[in-house]
């Protein structure tokens, strides 16, 4: 599922929704770092493969951005999973408490109907 879909689903649970917003924001920041890192690493590699003189300083900066982006991405994933866990746990609690018991008399005796 996309972060946008998860935000829509968790909107009924304020705690899960706030965590999901944080996860989405961290994911966006991580994507910027990772995209820039990929470009800065890929450009010198492409230049080297093409036979040119690569600027390895760019690749070093890209590697640094990648080192920063990976923990942010991991934090985003961790918070998204936590938001889903909170949302699902809340659903389980609701499911256990929402039931209807009807007891009555029928033409042949006593009846009980449990709906959940």
Whole-prediction pTM: 0.73
Range of the domain at 53: 3-115
Query: Taking every pair of C-alpha atoms in the chain, what is the biggest distance, in angstroms?
Result: 94
Each residue of 30-53: pLDDT tens digit?
Answer: 999 999 999 999 999 999 999 999
Q: State the total domains in the chain.
A: 1
Each residue of 77-110: pLDDT tens digit?
Answer: 999 999 999 999 988 777 666 667 777 777 777 7
Write down the residue that tokens 């007891």 correspond to. 103
Q: Output the CA angle 13-19-24, nearest 5 degrees.
A: 120
Each residue of 3-17: pLDDT tens digit?
Answer: 889 999 999 999 999
Find out whether 80 and 23 touch, Cβ atoms under 8 Å: yes
- Classify burial at 23, counting beta carbons within 10 Å of its beta carbon; exposed 0-12, middle 13-18, buried 19 or more: buried
């Amino acid at each position: 599922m996309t972060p946008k879909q998860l935000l829509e689903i968790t909107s009924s649970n304020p705690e899960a929704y706030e965590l999901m917003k944080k996860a989405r924001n961290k994911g966006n920041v991580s994507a910027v770092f990772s995209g820039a890192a990929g470009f800065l690493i890929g450009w010198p590699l492409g230049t080297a493969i093409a036979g040119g003189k690569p600027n390895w300083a760019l690749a070093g900066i890209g590697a640094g951005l990648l080192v920063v982006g990976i923990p942010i991405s991991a934090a985003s994933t961790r918070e998204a999973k936590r938001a889903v866990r909170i949302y699902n746990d809340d659903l389980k609690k609701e499911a256990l408490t929402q039931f209807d018991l009807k007891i009555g008399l029928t033409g042949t005796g006593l009846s009980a109907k449990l709906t959940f």
